[in-house]
Chains A and B, each alone.
Chain A
């Protein structure tokens, strides 16, 4: 089970500034372990961002995204107290959903 995401959401005027760090190895299938065996692919492929119950951003990612991916987004028309829900799914089918509340 992957560790929780770290989600930070703050408001500037009516624009929410959302930052998320997803805890994930993002293995690109090219690295080898100490025994010389190739470490298999293990990376987030998709994620979804909902603010106040509406889907606002969806993303797709490949292995060129860094380990423990960090993303930043901006969403207009958000209010303090709105819920931010982020979900990801990796190539192995594992998913994780976390949420945060937009701070004033």
Chain B
């Protein structure tokens, strides 16, 4: 599945043997994991910093070319509609995090040929939090933007 080889979600949770192969320069990180591997490390991260690190996006640069649309106030944190559009050329992936959720990484999307780098998704927000969108480009750079959403009733417990 060549078109997805630059996936945001691949190449970070390589096993020992693969890590050795990587270190030896045999395999490039982005080609290591099968496209159908769920990024457990990233989704199980309990704080946003760890989740961002797990997808390789710790050093994402703020960008005004990412349009993140979310309500200012969400009365029901269980269903918060969010739209992310990337106007950055060469966008291959978009990830979305709710920074204060118990498990911040909500979703990540990889785009193949033809896909417009724009996604709509409904997320849960546990409390008032910034929602952060992270974009990866084909040349491996990361960009991000975020928006604060006030939550009246949290959407995780109950």
Contact = CB atoms under 8 A, between A and B. Distances in A.
Interface of A: 15, 19, 28, 30-31, 45-46, 51, 54-67, 69-78
A66 B4 contact: no
B122 A28 contact: no
Contacts of A46: 36, 38
Contact of A66 (B3, B7, B122): B122
B35 interface: yes
Interface of A is mostly: strand
25 contacts: A19-B120, A28-B103, A45-B38, A46-B36, A46-B38, A55-B4, A56-B115, A58-B7, A58-B35, A58-B110, A58-B112, A59-B107, A59-B108, A60-B108, A61-B107, A62-B103, A64-B103, A64-B125, A64-B156, A65-B122, A66-B155, A70-B121, A71-B119, A72-B120, A75-B115
The 9 closest A-B pairs by CB, nearest first: A72-B120, A64-B106, A74-B116, A62-B43, A66-B122, A45-B38, A56-B115, A61-B107, A59-B109
Given A57-B112, A64-B105, 19 more contacts: A46-B36, A51-B114, A54-B112, A55-B4, A58-B7, A58-B35, A60-B108, A64-B123, A65-B106, A65-B123, A66-B78, A66-B79, A66-B122, A66-B124, A72-B119, A73-B116, A74-B115, A76-B114, A78-B114
